[in-house]
Structure 1
Amino acid sequence: MQIVAVGWQVYQLTHSAFDLGMVGLVQFLPALFLALVVGHVADRYDRRKIARICLFIEGLAAAALAVGSYHGWLTKEAIFAIVFVIGATRAFESPTLQALVPGLVPPKLLPRAIAWSASATQTAVIIGPALGGFMYVMGPSAVYTSSSVLFIGASLLVSLIRIESVLPRREPATVKSLLAGIAFIKSRPAILGAISLDLFAVLLGGATALLPIYAHDILATGPLGLGLLRSAPAVGALSTAIFLARRPLSRRVGHTMFAAVAVFGVATMVFALSHWFILSLMALAVLGASDMISVVVRSSFVQLETPDHMRGRVSAVNSVFIGTSNQLGEFESGVTAAWLGPVHAVLLGGVGTIVVVVLWIRLFPTLFGLDRLANPHAATTATVKTS
């Protein structure tokens, strides 16, 4: 809900594609500068407490957006400042949650757990933007207030997680330990290939930052239509995630992941050229479905190949790649749209995604030929205690 409100409010204030891109940039920069620190924190301290604190701060940030909108002092600069705080908070939250999940289930169930977790997330992503677009009729403060309540509620729910496990020995904070996540990924080309494939594919092919322009200027649907456009990728992603949770991929996972990224690029091109609202929704749904296949394979592969004491730092590096592809991708889309126009910018991104797939097949043949997801760290799993 908050993403829709911020995007629509910024575009109403500025009518600038560049400023829409700036929303993504100011969220990404904290993750980039804090990457080494947050990974070390996630490996040294209770991951549940970190997630709980982060969600609570996000709730306070959403409350600030609500108050500013209600009293009319929320300017473009103020929105960017608050979004920067949210970005800094998520820099800690994202790798912490990624590293937390493998400790909740046995390794053999991790791909299903990631798929079910993605299903829950995508359900919220479907409901949230549509509801946010509908609630925006009552004003942005209504959307932000609801978001604040939900963030604080999520913080309380995280506190209910119980895990019976021994916390790892706190490794001294040295330059070597801070850089350990980078060194680990560098030593395993297949992991580097998996996360960099997602980086460049979404960086080039991301069209979501320009959805306010498509909804306002090309498809003429208004904020409710923007909410539906935002939800469409999640509809495709949710259906795919549920399918993968019930029928996880067992063979030729490398081929499947590369094929999914190629479909992502084609769907992006179709959306770029569409002037029909229904076709645009369908293209975005296919885009979301193909991206979910890549996410489940990549996330399962990276987590299964990483020992628990390293997961925070590896997840932090992975989060930078994800943030680069999402937030920096939004900035790239905004800048390209300002130069070439939104249609040509999205079309060029789709073509670029196809080119990346072809190059990565040649650069990372081991990843492309990956047949099964392995279980190298099965003995390190924690036992879960329900609360």
Structure 2
Amino acid sequence: MKELSNRTATFTDSVIRRMTRISNKYDAVNLSQGFPDFDPPAQLLNSLSTIAADPKPLYHQYSITWGSQAMREALAAKQEHFMGMPIDPNQNIVVTCGSTEAMMAAMMTVTNPGDKVVIFSPFYENYGADTILSGAEPIYVPLNPPTFDFDREALEAAFRDNDPKAIVLCNPSNPCGKVFTREELTFIADLCKKYDAYCITDEVYEHIVYAPHEHVYMATLPGMFERTISCSSLSKTYSITGWRLGYTIAPAQITERIKKVHDFLTVGAAAPLQEAVVTALNFDDSYYDEVLDLYTAKRDLFCQGLDSIGLEHNVPQGAYYVMMDISEFGYDSDLEFCEDLASKVGVGAVPGSSFFREPVNHLIRFHFAKRDETLNAALENLKSLRDKIKPRG
């Protein structure tokens, strides 16, 4: 038989999702895959119940391919409010099956086979795969632990030497929780304009940014709306990761191309869920303040718990992930360490090497989008870490 696709030959399964399966196997507290173990807002669930019981076919058959009118209008109003710029629900928005599809549609819209795409490392594992599936080549630029800042000369060299078609920017960043400053974003924007590159942003954690840090939308910087595809989802903001509702915001001419790519990828997102989520998109600012207060408290609880055990970690500026340093245990493989952590200590984490292009094996990622009792249970298990996993070497 003929060989299968060369471009997918080096793919592995998602290490993040694999660690959930390993956590389940050992009944470990799962702090690997980033989904909450608490309910979405009650108003949103009530809206879904109402929509599900509605006999009108409108809600149970195909929606408009690029998103229901009601959802796009509500989303445009919400994002106009937070981004501070006009957004046309008919010309600037495509509703997708999660931000995963939004990123894939954006990449396929922008790149041709052989193009180069700049990606910061560490990075969410899909970005490299999206680039390769599009026939393009990823060019990695390191974010340097523990602060995860980037070397400006190294970034410009990546543009100067590779003439990239685009840069992927996750802000706030998964897995390291970095929030890019306005000054950093302006530097990146200037490179995009200087070297005529697009910027594909992943902003799913836009409402989880810890004081004194602030989220700045790349598309709002001078000269950047016309070359930016803003990708996001409703998964993290409303605790509905299983609903798979994402979107792109882009100029009209780019959005027209995204609509076509999206149509052939998935046809459309789930119609009843699009109608139900309008309720959440109409929440006032107090909801987003409560979300930030909730995650600030969870970050503090978990980071202070790690401190009390004497475990080294970064303090995220945004999102809901913590990177912990496991150097003291002397493992050559952080994947092996995470498997031992689940089986012997009862806590699930993701090996940091799955996020880095560089040979980084001393960091693992926890997430803290969990009930306080879940986080406390994980911290209680971690107290026995040094007793159950002995240093090597």
CA radius of gyration, larger in: 2
Say yes or no: TM over 0.5.
Answer: no
Q: Say which structure is richer in helix.
A: 1
More strand as a share of residues? 2
TM-score (norm 2): 0.29
